[in-house]
Amino acid sequence: MAKTKISIGVRFIIFATTLAAALTMLSTTEMVHIKDGYTFLPSYKNSNNGYSFRATYKNWNSFQFFIAVNFVGAAYNLLVIVLPNGSRLWKLVVVLDMVIAMVLVASCAAALETYILLKNGNIQASWQPICRFVPIFCAKALGAIVTCICGLLTNTLLLFYSFHIIFNPLLIKSEDDS
């Protein structure tokens, strides 16, 4: 697949959305002080009248995975944008696009499941929902996940476009074939 204006524009959109998702999740943090009377895990006792808790991406491995995968996706798409047109690496680009899409799906799914757990809790594990205590953290995390999903959908559209260019599913003769 060669570079076209469409593929460059779509790759730039993927680059921007994955980078924005990673930076948003990386900057997502909130400190809260909770008075006694709530069952809240994890809690860190710092005084006689409550608990302090700092919600950050470092507390959950799925959010760390999410950040790493989105940075890799952004870097990959930026490298493909600057890849020369005559390079032999273009044969590998579609395969790597598929790999990036699969890893983005995994990271979005893991981060979304963690967000749902933070929002709803898990009664069987005695884990109370914490989004009522750290609403800004949860809103930013959800925003990062939605941004990543937009990048993932754009990546999927680029894959379909690449398959169309490579395999010519309508079997239409190109001008070069005549």
Tokens 């006694």 sit on residue: 36
Decide if pLDDT at 161 tops 80: yes
Decide if pLDDT at 87 tops 50: yes
Nearest to 134 by CA among 22, 66, 64, 59: 59
Average pLDDT over residues 4-29: 93
Whole-number pLDDT of residue 41: 46
Contact 56, 27 (CB under 8 A): no
Nearest to 144 by CA among 54, 64, 31, 53: 64
Selected residue with higher pLDDT from 172 and 142:
142
pLDDT, one tens digit per residue, over 28-58 is 888 887 765 555 445 455 555 667 778 889 8
Share of the chain above pLDDT 70, in %: 84
Which tokens in the block code for residue 36? 């006694």
